[in-house]
């Protein structure tokens, strides 16, 4: 019989500086997604409307999810 597999040790928790940097990166990404989604919805008239709605609303929803994750994982 072979020995049971052992799980690798858990990584150490990130330092406060790393957490602050990650929070800032996620906020920048969420803001960029929100702005990009609004730009697609409002200003790109050459794209067919159903595709424009799909892309723009997907970006807006993704940004809302990221804002929620930042708010829950990195309380201010």
Q: Each residue of 55-68: pLDDT tens digit?
A: 999 999 999 999 99
pLDDT of 11 above 90:
no
Please give the full DSSP string across the chain, using - where no structure is assigned: -PPPPPPPPPPPPPPHHHHHHHHHHHHHHHHHHHHHHHHHHHH-TTS-HHHHHHHHHHHHHHHHHHHHHHHHHS--
Asked whether 4 and 31 are in contact (CB, 8 A), the reply is no
pLDDT at 64: 97
pLDDT digits (tens, 9 = 90+) for 32-58: 999 999 999 999 999 999 999 999 999
């Amino acid at each position: 019989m072979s020995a049971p597999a052992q799980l690798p040790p858990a990584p150490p928790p990130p330092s406060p500086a790393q957490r602050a940097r990650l929070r800032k990166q996620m906020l920048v990404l969420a803001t960029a997604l929100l702005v990009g989604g609004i730009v697609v919805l409002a200003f790109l008239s050459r794209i067919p409307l159903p595709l424009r709605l799909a892309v723009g609303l997907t970006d807006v929803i993704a940004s809302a999810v990221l804002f929620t994750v930042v708010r829950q994982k990195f309380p201010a």
